[in-house]
């Protein structure tokens, strides 16, 4: 598999509260994007703790045989990591109320299992086209889902950033899971809302579909988000099913 990822603080924020990690072991690849929130620098703490905790947990995995095992692992470990972040916020006053979004994918040679909390997203490009795999846990998405506002209204809603679910803000948290086939030349995109709020689905699909290297795709998408204002941190991770890979550690 081939991977590339970057996290950028954007053009307005003084700090980057996003964190990205891509980790490989015998079982496959674990990719994570976390978009932190909280008081002064606490968002940094929440997202970095989440990614670092999952890195350690993934190092202990020897094999993932099927989607059921992948989903069970993500469900169990989300509970562990949620407790780590939540307990830290209770014992460190400067971190009170901190939390983070989470979108993570376990990727093997035949499938990808995606878990998410909040409004960081996963997209898939395959032979059937391009689609969003995850559904935001946000107030505006719920309003759209129930028919109270349109998708166009959601783009400019004053409470667009209100999340209905986040990791680390409560004693327990629910993870949404999806498993998909992952085949040769398929591309998985994980990203924070700093990208999707500034780059349209059409632009995302166009960039993923071209023949440029993954590194160029990621850099172009981040540049587009910055060119369109860059008001938020921007994090992007791409994973492509291929025989080659370029793999790093984490970016916060």
Question: Residue-wise pLDDT tens for the chain (252 aa)?
Answer: 999 999 999 999 999 999 999 999 999 999 999 999 986 679 999 999 999 999 999 999 999 999 999 999 999 999 999 999 999 999 999 999 999 999 999 999 999 999 999 999 999 999 999 999 999 998 887 887 788 887 777 777 767 778 999 999 999 999 999 999 999 999 999 999 999 999 999 999 999 999 999 999 999 999 999 999 999 999 999 999 986 544 456 677
CA 29 – CA 11 distance, rounded (Å): 31
> DSSP letter at 232?
S
pLDDT confidence of residue 248? 52
CA 127 – CA 84 distance, rounded (Å): 40
Q: What secondary structure does DSSP assign to 90-138, as a single string? A: HH-GGGTT-EE-EEEEEE-SSEEEEEEESS-EEEEEETTEEEE-----B
Q: Is 221:195 a contact under the CB 8 Å cutoff? A: yes
Which residue from 104, 111, 112, 60 is spatially nearest to 82, judged by alpha carbons?
104
pLDDT confidence of residue 242? 87
pLDDT confidence of residue 148? 85
């Amino acid at each position: 598999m081939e991977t590339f990822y970057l996290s950028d603080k954007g053009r307005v924020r003084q700090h980057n509260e996003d964190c990205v990690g891509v980790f490989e072991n015998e079982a496959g690849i674990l990719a994570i994007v976390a978009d932190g929130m909280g008081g002064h620098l606490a968002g940094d703490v929440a997202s970095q703790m989440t990614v670092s905790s999952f890195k350690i947990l993934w190092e202990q995995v020897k094999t993932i045989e099927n989607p059921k095992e992948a989903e069970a692992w993500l469900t169990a470990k989300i509970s562990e990591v949620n407790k780590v972040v939540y307990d830290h916020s209770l014992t460190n006053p400067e971190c009170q109320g901190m939390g983070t979004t989470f979108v993570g994918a376990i990727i093997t040679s035949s499938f990808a299992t995606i878990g998410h909390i909040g409004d960081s997203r996963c997209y898939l490009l395959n032979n059937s086209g391009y689609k969003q795999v995850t559904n935001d846990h946000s107030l505006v998405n719920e309003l759209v889902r129930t028919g109270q506002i349109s998708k166009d209204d959601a783009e400019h809603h004053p409470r667009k950033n209100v999340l209905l679910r986040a990791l680390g803000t409560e004693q327990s948290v629910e993870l949404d899971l999806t498993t998909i086939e992952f085949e040769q030349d398929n591309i998985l995109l994980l990203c924070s809302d700093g990208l999707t709020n500034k780059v349209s689905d059409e632009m995302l699909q166009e960039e993923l579909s071209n023949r440029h290297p993954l590194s160029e795709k990621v850099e172009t998408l981040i540049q587009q988000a910055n060119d369109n204002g860059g008001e938020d941190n921007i994090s992007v991770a791409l994973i492509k099913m291929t025989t080659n890979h370029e793999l790093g550690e984490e970016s916060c």
